Amino acid sequence: MQLKRVVVTGMGALTPIGNTLNEYWEGLLAGKSGAAPIQQYDASLFKTQFACELKNFNIEDFIDRKEARKLDPFAQYAMVSATEAVVDSAIMESNPNLDRIGVIWGSGIGGLKTFQDEAQAFFGGDGTPRFNPFFIPKMIADIAAGHISIKYGFRGPNYVTVSACASSTNAIIDAFNTIRLGKADAIVTGGSEACVNEMGMGGFNALKALSTRNDSPETASRPFDLDRDGFVLGEGSGALILEELEHALARGAKIYAEVIGGGMSGDAYHITAPHPDGLGAKNTMLAALDDANVAPSEIDYINVHGTSTPLGDIAEVKAIQQVFGDHAYDLNISSTKSMTGHLLGAAGAIEAIACIMAVQHDIVPPTINHFTDDPELDPKLNFTFNAPQKRTVNVALSNTFGFGGHNTSVIVKKFSK
């Protein structure tokens, strides 16, 4: 069977450093930090009192107030970025076959804010079981995909992937495979997350996963720095329109890049810690390279998982050096989480977008907040510290790893016929 080629024809982003695709990209190149003291609730009693929240965002600028109340924030964010991507792609202007357009979305947690609000209302009341009729439809992780498909009438494959922080990269890989197998003409894919709330922050604090650098939030996410002390929680959404090449060409679509491979693996090691030698990370990158039929020497840029945790950053670098050997020194490596924070299930989507934009513009976004070299990391590696770097980026790889040992990598390249 001849596999179809898959291209990216639309994108949308709603992030802590920009509320549109272009604002997000400009924020990355400017080395903008999205971290600041939490505004959504009183965080004074929490170990971590800051996060990468959305800025100047009002859902009623995008969705009618009555309809917005039926959506958990994670689904609201999904609708905003998906709408931007659909409009950007102009796919609806070509009278497409809606039976062959699907939605494959990712979210690691789903409607956590809704769950928190309903639990507080019940347990803080008199015990009478009164629940909002939208409680379940707002909370369940698959509902974002449902709402996107309902808005546009997309009747193709429709589901959500849940693999913690790897969720949206899993969604992108599934969308890629669905299209190249000829089972859809186009897929809206990506991911969204909205966990900057008391339960989200409190839960990650209990795991000792978050930075507690309350005196300097904007510098708290510092991947590969000696003094990194945990990740910074972020929120938002990223969306991509993946489309079969001939379908895109037939309607005259603009093409950002081509998706050429995806890899997945399991650490089979620990529920939260990575394999110390990066075994799972190594395997997923090798799988992606094999799937894409490209040699390690062809990769120009890796957007790493790079969460700013003491163990995770080292394990990923070990994996990169095992996979790429001497070519590792010719790569640009960067962690855009240094700017956006960690968007959990949405991280893979916005980081794949960063890779696509790097391929388009031949510039690598930086890893900001580097102050002190870590002696455990090879100083000859190029982590793109503190400023973007111009270079030819023909092929880029994005890594995303999740609690439970879920590892994913996706590869994109410059498009040529």
The pLDDT value recorded for residue 10 is: 98
% of the chain residues with pLDDT over 70: 100
The pLDDT value recorded for residue 127 is: 86
Instruction: Evaluate whether 6-250 and 263-413 have a shared fold.
Output: yes
Region 103-126: mean pLDDT is 95
Pick the CATH number of 6-250 from 3.40.47.10, 1.10.10.10, 3.90.600.10, 3.30.830.10: 3.40.47.10
* Residue 76 to residue 70: CA distance in whole angstroms: 9
H helices present in 207-306, as ranges: 245-250, 279-292
Long-range pairs for 55-58: beta carbons < 8 A, 24 or more residues apart: 55/16, 55/19, 56/19, 57/14, 57/19
Q: Which of 52, 165, 195, 355 is catalytic?
A: 165
For residue 98, pLDDT over 90 is answered with: yes
Residue 42: Cβ-neighbour burial (10 angstroms; 0-12, 13-18, 19+): exposed
Residue with token string 């799988």: 287
Mention the CATH class of domain 263-413: alpha beta
For residue 79, pLDDT over 90 is answered with: yes
Q: Which of 186, 177, 182, 173 is nearest to 249 (CA)?
A: 186
Region 62-70: mean pLDDT is 93
The pLDDT value recorded for residue 126 is: 86
Where are the chain's structural domains? Answer: 6-250, 263-413
Each residue of 397-417: pLDDT tens digit? 999 999 999 999 999 999 998
103 membership: H or E segment, kind and range: strand 101-106
Region 207-218: mean pLDDT is 98
Question: Cα dist. 220→45, 136, 216, 223 in Å?
Answer: 19, 35, 6, 9
Tokens found for residue 376: 């455990």
Each residue of 344-356: pLDDT tens digit? 999 999 999 999 9
Show Cβ contacts of residue 370 under 8 Å, excluding neighbours closer than 6 positions.
222, 224, 225, 383, 385, 386
Show Cβ contacts of residue 392 under 8 Å, excluding neighbours closer than 6 positions.
300, 362
Decide if 165 is catalytic: yes
Each residue of 146-155: pLDDT tens digit? 999 999 999 9
Number of Cβ within 10 Å of residue 376's Cβ equals 12
Reported as a pLDDT band with limits 50, 70 and 90, residue 125 is confident
